[in-house]
Amino acid sequence: MFCHPLPFSLPEIARRRRNPGVALAVFAAFLSYACGGCLSNEYVIPRTELARLAQLPPEQRGQRMNVVQELGDRRSEAIDTSAPTQTATPADSYQSEASGPPPATYVEDGPQVEAGVGIVIIPGPPIPVGGPAGYAGRPMPGPRGPAGIVPGRVPPTAPRRPGGSNAGGLGNIGSGGGGGGKGEDLAVFLVVMAVLATVGLVATEGVRYDGSVAMYPWQSVHLKGANGQEREVPLAQISPLDVEATTKAVVMDDEGWGLMRLERRALDRRGFAFKMDLGAMVSSCSCLSADGVAANIQLGYFPHHRLGLLAGWSPAGGSDSDGKSFYRHNLAFEAQFFPLDLWRLHLGGFGHAGVQYASDASGGTRSGIALGGGLILELSLTARLALTARADYTAAQIAPAGQGWAGAEMFSAGVAVY
């Protein structure tokens, strides 16, 4: 399902396995490719929608229909439905399956803006590889030319913090409060991987089309049965019997007269969800004055549009008032609820419970129960993508010298992919 070949080979990994920095960069490149698939030329008609269309008069079936774009390989560019088409005359009819009338001219309510995001890690200068030349007139189906990337030098990694009891690291948890090193590199790399995964999901799952389209009634629909066989039936001739025998119905935006996108569906949270936020942590405990950067990475499931359950990891780190490094890792299960909707804005709340690990100069390495909650605001962009902002307060039993609970606020912003 990937758009491009991997920018490295197994022999190259074997030659570079002794260099951890190169290995991490190679794996990061692989993750960005793995999570950043392609938006396919295929659109699935849900079974309930196909049954509704089969009950309409043939000439009305293509006016508006709901589809969901598939993820996979795109064989050719979508047909430009904004190009002038021949207007049908009164003498035309819908009685000829072989030829049919000229395509109807659909009028779009407004401009359709599509955004694509891609990420490629390029250690050295790429070697340009030409794709197939453009075709005159209508695009012809065919595979896309691959993009070539030749690995080269990898930029040097940032210098590590000095070791010692006063220098913390994201990987110090369980290490007796020692200095930075491999553990810190691993934790930072996990955050980088989460960012790359987020970019890949936004570029595919987040922006793929899920909404209504207009289509010429005599354009073919690919009907797949339970036995694996596939038939091509014009939309105008699909019957209720065809619907009963069909397990999947697919239309293509590079066939016939193409598909005209009309309107995306509203945000729908039902199903699996991935969320990534970046922001700042502020300590509210007098026992420890520490402010720093933080991240919040969550994966879960929404059984209902307004209610979801997620598991999350919230790493944070920085320097206290004395300039000493500190780190926090919060592992928790969280429930989110969105009761209020206003246009594209969605206001909700959340509560979470779990365990927090802490490492700093004043208290060493320790862990304790962590409880918290707060408010969350989402701005929906598509049916599957939203921008998010969070305000979180968490209290954990990690105060130094047995002082009990220590509180901290976290303010962050990011994206949610449903």
270 vs 102, residue with greater confidence: 270
For the segment 295-335, what is each residue's pLDDT rounded down to a tens digit?
A: 999 999 999 999 999 999 999 988 877 778 888 999 999 99
pLDDT at position 187 is 77
Q: Are residues 258 and 315 in the same domain?
A: no
**H or E element, residue 182:** helix 182-201
Give dist(CA 199, CA 276) in Å, integer: 10
> Which of 200, 235, 264 is a domain's end point?
264
Give dist(CA 194, CA 184) in Å, integer: 16
> Which of 229, 264, 299 is a domain's end point?
264
pLDDT at position 182 is 55
Q: Are residues 258 and 287 in the same domain?
A: no
The total number of structural domains in the chain stands at 2
Residue 73 is part of which domain span?
Answer: 1-86+97-108+115-264
Using an 8 Å Cβ cutoff, are 230 and 246 in contact?
A: no
For the segment 104-125, what is each residue's pLDDT rounded down to a tens digit?
A: 444 344 434 344 444 433 344 4
Using an 8 Å Cβ cutoff, are 370 and 400 in contact?
A: no
161 vs 235, residue with greater confidence: 235
Q: Are residues 6 and 64 in the same domain?
A: yes
pLDDT at position 165 is 35
In DSSP terms, 124 is beta-bridged to none
Of 412, 365, 378, 362, nearest to 169 by C-alpha is 365
Q: Residue 345 maps to which CATH number?
A: 2.40.160.20
pLDDT band at 82 (very low <50, low <70, confident <90, very high): confident
Q: Are residues 70 and 212 in the same domain?
A: yes
Does 274 score more than 70 pLDDT? Answer: yes
Using an 8 Å Cβ cutoff, are 330 and 353 in contact?
A: no
**H or E element, residue 51:** helix 47-54
116 vs 379, residue with greater confidence: 379
Q: Are residues 121 and 182 in the same domain?
A: yes
pLDDT at position 27 is 52
Residues in contact with 52: Cβ distance below 8 Å, sequence separation at least 6, in sequence order: none
Give dist(CA 49, CA 68) in Å, integer: 11
For the segment 194-219, what is each residue's pLDDT rounded down to a tens digit?
A: 999 999 899 888 889 999 999 999 99
Q: If you average pLDDT over residues 167-182, what whole number do you get?
A: 41
Q: Are residues 183 and 144 in the same domain?
A: yes
Q: What angle do CA 339, 310, 375 make, to 5 degrees?
A: 40
**H or E element, residue 35:** helix 20-35
Q: Are residues 320 and 336 in the same domain?
A: yes
pLDDT at position 319 is 80
Residue 330 has which token pair?
């919060």
pLDDT at position 323 is 79
Does 102 score more than 80 pLDDT? Answer: no
In DSSP terms, 269 is beta-bridged to none
Rg (CA), the chain: 27
Residue 288 has which token pair?
């420890």
